Amino acid sequence: MAQYLGLSKKYMKKIAVVALGGNALLRASEAGTIEQQEKNAYDTLAKVLGLIRNGYSLVITHGNGPQVGNIMLRNEAGFEKYKIPKMPLDICVADSQGGIGYMLERQMRNVFNDFNIDKNVVSLITQVLVDIKDPAFENPTKPVGSFYIKEEADLLGKANNWQFKEDSAKRGWRRIVASPVPQDIMNKQIIEELVLNGHVVIAVGGGGVPIYRHENNFLEAIEAVIDKDRASSLLATQINAEELYIITDVPKVYINYGKADQKSLDVITVSEAEKYIEENQFADGSMKPKILAAINFIKNGGRKSIITSEEEIGKENGGTQIISG
C-alpha cells in the first residue's frame, strides 16, 4: 500500500491500532458530564505516549455505547416535547463519532502540548460496509439505548417498529438491533496514508456507521450497530498494522473467571485462544468478541494483539498477548 500511496521510505513506520473501551471516557460511577469525559480522555490518551515513543504510528478507535444511548434519549425527548423530527440510528452513531472524535482529538493535542510532542491529530467520520444478507439482520442481538419498563418498551416497539429484549440482569427492557460483520472500512486508504505520514488518526468510532451497497452501487444506511472491536480488527488488517490493542477494564484476560481457580493469561497462541472459546471460557457479551477480534487480526497477518486495561498500555509484558500458532 505504501508504494501505491507514493510514500518514501522515511515514512514507512510500524502501525498500532488502539481500540479504546467505553470507560476511556465515562467511568461506571460517573454522571457523564463533559468535564468528567474530557478528564478521562486526557488521562487515557496520556497512557498511549509510550507507544509513540517506541516508534509506533497510531490509529485510535473508540466505543460509543453510553454516548449514543444519550443521543437516542435526546431524540425521543425532542420529539415528544417539541416535535423535532427523530433521526435514525445511523445519524445518531455519526453524531457520537463527531462528538467523541472531537473530544479525543482536542485532548490528544493537549497531551502532546504538555509532553512537548510535535504531532498532528485528525478524527474521521467512518462508514463501514456490511452485507445486507448478513444473518444478523434476521436475529438482532445488540442492545442499544436506555432501559424501559415493559409497558414503555411495548409502546415504543409498536410506534417505531423496534424490537426489545429484557436485560439479563433484570434492569429493564432495551431496544435490540442487528450487529452485522464488518466487510470493508470505506476510508481505509485515507487512514493509512495519514498514519504512514506520522499523524495520529481517530476513526471507526462506535464500530463505524453501517452502510450497504445496492446493485447499482448506491450506498444506503441501515439500522444496526457494528461491534467496535471487530471493526477495529478489520481496520488494523486493512492498513497493515503490526499490533492491535484492545483496551478494556481488566489488566489481563482470565480463564475460570470469578472462580476459585481463576487464572490470568500472559501470552497465548491463536490455537489456545480458540480452545478456550470452545470451552466457553469467555462471555458472549464481554470478553468473547474481543478474543475473536484479536484472533481475526492475527490470522490475517497481524503480529500480535494485546488485550489489557489502559493502565497497562505499552508496558513490557503488560496485558494478555495473542500471537500466531
Model confidence pLDDT, tens digit, residues 96-109: 999 999 999 999 99
Q: Which of 290, 296, 314, 318 is catalytic?
A: 290
pLDDT bucket at 2, cuts 50 / 70 / 90: very low
User: What was the pLDDT predicted at 6?
Assistant: 46
The reported pLDDT for the residue numbered 62 is 97
Does the active-site annotation cover 228? yes
**Residue pLDDT, tens place only, 108-137:** 999 999 999 999 999 999 999 999 999 999
Instruction: Please write the tens of the pLDDT for every residue from 199-230.
Output: 999 999 999 999 999 999 999 999 999 999 99
Give the pLDDT score at 127.
Answer: 98
Average pLDDT, the chain: 92
- For residues 105 and 284, what is the distance between their CA atoms, to the nearest angstrom? 31
9 catalytic, yes or no? no
C-alpha torsion sign, points 237, 14, 245, 89: negative
**Higher confidence at residue 21 or residue 5?**
21
| Catalytic site residue from 69, 75, 101, 142 | 142
Q: Which of 21, 19, 23, 54 is nearest to 305 (CA)?
A: 19
Strand duo 173-177 + 243-248: pairing = unpaired
Residue 175 in this model has a pLDDT that exceeds 60:
yes
The burial of 133, by beta-carbon neighbours within 10 Å (0-12 exposed, 13-18 middle, 19 or more buried), is given as exposed
Active site residue 113: no
- 174 vs 165: CA distance, rounded Å: 6
Count of CB atoms within 10 A of residue 200's CB? 26
User: Using CA atoms, how far apart are residues 130 and 41, in angstroms rounded to an integer?
Assistant: 30
| Measured distance CA(39)–CA(95) in Å, rounded | 21
> Among all chains, which residue has been given the C-alpha cell 497531551?
111
Looking at the predicted structure, is the pLDDT value of residue 168 above 90? no
Residue tagged active-site, from 23, 64, 70, 75: 23
Helix, strand and coil percent figures for the chain, each rounded to 5: 40, 25, 35
Q: What angle do CA 125, 194, 13 make, to 5 degrees?
A: 135
Q: What's the confidence (pLDDT) of residue 65?
A: 86
Q: Does residue 256 carry a catalytic annotation?
A: no
> Domains in the chain, start-ordered, CATH in brackets?
2-131+181-315 (3.40.1160.10), 142-177 (no CATH)
The catalytic residue among 47, 188, 228, 252 is: 228
Q: Assess whether 299 carries a catalytic annotation.
A: no
Q: How many residues does the chain have?
A: 325
What nine digits make up the cell of 305?
A: 494483539
